[in-house]
Structure formats: C-alpha cells, structure tokens
Amino acid sequence: MADDLLSIFKSRGALLEGHFLLSSGLHSPRYLQCALVLADPPLATRLGGELKAALEPLLAGARPSAVIAPALGGVLVAHEVARAFGCRGLFTERQGDLMTLRRGFSLEPGEPVLVVEDVITTGGSTREVMDAVGGLGAKVLAVGSLVDRSAGSVDLGVPRRSLLSLEVPSYPADACPLCASGSPAVKPGSRPTPR
Ligand SMILES: [Zn+2]
C-alpha cells in the first residue's frame, strides 16, 4: 500500500515541493496535500477501508463506537474510517486554545474510540484530540493516519498505524536552511496549488 499511496499522492499533484509552514509550526521542503487525494470520494472511501484494515489487528476484538479527528484536515478521514467500521465519525475543533467536541457531538464515559488524522508530523494535534476524548472519559483504542511524516518516531502511548510512512525533513523556524537561504515559508493552501 505504501508505494501505492505515494504514487497516488504524486499522480494527484498532492506531494508539493517548496518551503512550507506546517500546522505544527515547523518548516519543511515537502508538503502532502491530503485534501487533493480525499477530494476523490471513491478513493477516500477506499483509503478509509484500508486504514480500518490496518487498525483492526490492534484492537484485540474491540469495536470502536466512534472515530474522531481534528478539523479540518482529519474530518474526511474520520468520516471514511467510520464508514468502514460502521460507527460514528466525529471531529474536534479548536475553541480558543482548546481542542473540543462541538456541534452536539458527545462521548460516553468508557466509550471505545479511534483517533485518526490525515498526516502526523509531531503528533501535537493528535494528542490534543486524545486529551479532549480522555477528558470526557472515553477510551482511545488506537491512532491511525493516512501519512506518518515522523517515520514512526512519534509515540502517542497507544498503538498506531499509518498507510504511508515517510521521513520528511522539518525544521524549527530558527534552524530552517530554507529560511537561511532567504526564501519565505508559505502556509500550504494559502494560494492556489501550482500545476
Ligand atoms: Zn523555513
């Protein structure tokens, strides 16, 4: 699947080269624009099914009752993994500094859930979702992502799987060689994708 998904990203123009400011605050010469891949509904459904298949062996027979992702990037991933499991697909949103469930979404204490993402880089937003879920007393069984940019180095304290694991360099702004060369970092999606 990994080679397959990487070739899908390439063929959709979703593997961008340049100088990017990631949501984690880090800078990177590469960016994976998952929205361009998830824009294809049958493909999104297929990837959700593949992530389900990757996560299922970690669950020891347990069934999640909800799949939860951080908005906005993870919403479609949660939706499609939830479709595959036949359970609810929810998302958290940032309210001020706090990641929280809104829109009437709720979790019961002890409810078994999965947390998913489009891309994991530092795991920061994933941890925020896990904290929000844990604060409601629900139990995170495992974490899944389409892409793991940390090449497996992020430890979230629960089992996790990704469909594509890549080691992509990323740098703090004050140690970024691209900044040092004088190019400005751009926020992906803040301008039309170059073709
Ligand atoms: Zn930079």
pLDDT band at 195 (very low <50, low <70, confident <90, very high): very low
* Cα-based distances in Å from 63 to 3, 15, 56, 145: 29, 33, 9, 18
Per DSSP (E only), the strands in 110-153 are: 112-120, 139-148
State the distance from the centre of ligand 1 to the C-alpha of 161, rounded, in angstroms: 29
pLDDT digits (tens, 9 = 90+) for 12-28: 999 999 999 988 889 99
- Residue 182 CA to ligand 1 center (angstroms) comes to 9
Q: Which residues have CB under 8 Å from 152's CB, separation 6+?
A: 165
With cut-offs at 50, 70 and 90, classify the pLDDT of residue 103: very high
Residue 163 near residue 51 (C-beta atoms within 8 A): yes
Centre of ligand 1 to C-alpha 24, Å, is: 13
Strand partners, 101: 92
* pLDDT bucket at 190, cuts 50 / 70 / 90: low
Instruction: Report CA(179)–ligand 1 centroid distance (Å).
Output: 4
Both tokens assigned to 189: 């999606």
- The CA 73 to ligand 1 mean position distance, Å, reads 22
Cα 78 to averaged position of ligand 1 atoms, centre (Å) = 31
* pLDDT confidence of residue 136: 96
> Does residue 187 register a pLDDT over 50?
yes
Type of residue numbered 59: L
> pLDDT-based confidence at 192, cuts 50/70/90?
low
Q: Report which of 86, 81, 150 is spatially closest to residue 116, judged by C-alpha positions.
A: 81
pTM of the model: 0.89
Contacts of 176-180 spanning 24+ positions with Cβ under 8 A: 176/27, 178/19, 178/27, 178/29, 179/19, 179/27
Provide the mean pLDDT of the chain.
Answer: 93
For tokens 């993870």, the residue is 74
Task: Report CA(177)–ligand 1 centroid distance (Å).
Answer: 6
Q: Which residues, including other chains, have CB under 8 Å from residue 180's CB and lie 6 or more apart?
A: none
Nearest to 81 by CA among 112, 41, 48, 43: 48
> 169: CA distance to ligand 1 center in Å?
11
Give the model's pLDDT for residue 50: 97
- Measured in Å, residue 21 CA sits from the centre of ligand 1 at 7
Q: How many angstroms is it from 119 CA to the middle of ligand 1?
A: 19
**Cα of 173 to ligand 1 centre, how many Å?**
5
E strand spans, 41-138: 66-70, 88-95, 98-101, 112-120
Ligand 1 centroid vs 131 CA: distance in angstroms? 30
Torsions phi, psi for 177 (to 5 deg)? -65, -25
